[in-house]
Amino acid sequence: MTAQICGIVGKFEFKFVVALFLVYLRRKFNAHLSNVGKYTTSYFFVTRLFSF
């Protein structure tokens, strides 16, 4: 039971770091690569949708 909880927390932390990195990339390149920003936004919502 404890191992399952630690695994869930680990996956959540990994997705949170990835999401922050994608938001950073989106803000950094938004002016030049608007399509990439759209893809990162959709990817962020997909990961949130399947996170639970």
**pLDDT tens-digit series, residues 5-50:** 777 777 888 888 888 888 887 787 765 666 666 777 788 887 887 7
What is the pLDDT, as a whole number, of residue 23?
Answer: 86
Residue 39, CA atoms < 13 Å, CB-side half-sphere: 6
Rounded Cα distance, 29 and 31, in Å:
6
Strands (E), 1-52: none
Residue 51 pLDDT level (bands cut at 50, 70, 90)? low
pLDDT, residue 22, reads 84
Q: Is 33 helix (H, G, I), strand (E, B) or coil?
A: coil
Where are the chain's structural domains? 2-49
